[in-house]
Amino acid sequence: MRFLGTARLARRVALLALPALPALLALAPLSQAAAKWPEKPVKIVLPFGAGGVADVSSRIMADKLDNILGQRVVIENMPGPGGINAARAVVNAPPDGYTLGLVTNGTAISVAAFNHLPFDPVKQFAMISELGEFNLLFAVAANSKYRTLEDFIQDAQTNPGKLNIGTIAVGGTQNLGAELFKSLADVKVTIVPYKGSPDVVVGLLRNDVQMLVEFPPAIRGQVAAGKLRVLASTGATRESSMPDVPTVQEAGVSGYLVTSWNGVFAPAGTPQEVIDTMNKAMHEVLAMPDVKEHFAKIGVEARAGTPDELMKRLKDDIKKWDEVITKAGIPKK
């Protein structure tokens, strides 16, 4: 048996290690960069315009993240059908943590509503954390004869095809929430889509529709002014700001649950160190009492979570809304 001298053995080991050296060098900068993240401003791309619930809640969070991360967190609005433009901008960005995106229940609806999307959120989104959730409200005009949601359901069952429910945008959360109600409550009603929330309210006050389904911020003013009366909310529990208003489930519609939600994601391949740092920062922000208070004023419950929980929520909603869209006969785009 031949024994190599110490020097020759060292040279042999070094030569054997050479093929792996380029891969190790390639990984080093990424690992080092992740450890120092962030070293420059971070951008979060939103699939909505400015001023909406998702935009306001994201900006509240971003202002707090500036101090925790030590870098500016910038919100960029990129509205477009199905959130496609915003999602594409994020998944095509370098996976370095400097371009993040907002994932919402609308993302799940898009997967269910479109035959083909230029991105796959299940494969191309690296989830970070949920941000918040908010429910829909079922409301009628203040002078309506319906005092409860049960009253509306009973009248709809007694007079099939005679009542209308107003929502915005076919395929939106409000519209699909009404479709789910129609199915689970087993009522024959006509769901009337309007261009915008003000149009839905006008239609309700004119009695063109007898009930509407909308997010709280869109009708808060009319409710406060005594023009509308809320019959039910769509979450698993009652709205903290409306403790006397029952949920749709409490009103007798078993299995009904519609909650709008949003969270933050990164492009697939983003270093785990970045995901962990951002997740920890979001948990810290969303636990702040003033953040919770600001969120509550716009009808949002601050809610942080794990990446796995956010991905599960997305997958569950894709399945749920696909079934609703199919049953309602809404053509896929």
- Residue 138 · residue 235 · CB < 8 Å: no
Q: Is the dihedral of CA 313, 319, 320, 325 positive or negative?
A: positive
CATH of the domain at 217: 3.40.190.10
* CA pair distance 169, 6, nearest whole angstrom: 76
The domain of 207 spans 137-233
When divided into structural domains, the chain yields a total of 2
pLDDT tens, N- to C-terminus, the chain (333 residues): 444 454 454 454 344 444 544 444 444 454 455 568 999 999 999 999 988 889 999 999 999 999 999 999 999 999 988 889 999 999 999 999 999 999 999 999 999 999 889 999 999 999 999 999 999 999 999 999 999 999 999 999 999 999 999 999 899 999 999 999 999 999 999 999 999 999 999 999 999 999 999 999 899 999 999 999 999 999 999 988 899 999 999 999 999 999 999 999 999 999 999 999 999 999 999 999 999 999 998 889 999 999 999 999 999 999 999 999 999 999 988
* CA pair distance 263, 286, nearest whole angstrom: 12
* CA pair distance 328, 325, nearest whole angstrom: 5
Residue 225 belongs to a domain = yes
Residue 333 belongs to a domain = no
Give, to the nearest 10 degrees, the angle between helix 173-184 and helix 105-113. Answer: 70
Please classify residue 31 by burial: count the beta carbons closer than 10 Å to its beta carbon, then call 0-12 exposed, 13-18 middle and 19+ buried.
Answer: exposed
Check whether residue 123 and residue 181 sit in a common domain: no
Check whether residue 208 and residue 270 sit in a common domain: no
Strands in 211-214's sheet, in edge-to-edge order, are: 190-194, 164-168, 211-214, 137-141, 228-233
Check whether residue 90 and residue 146 sit in a common domain: no
Instruction: Provide the whole-model pTM.
Output: 0.84
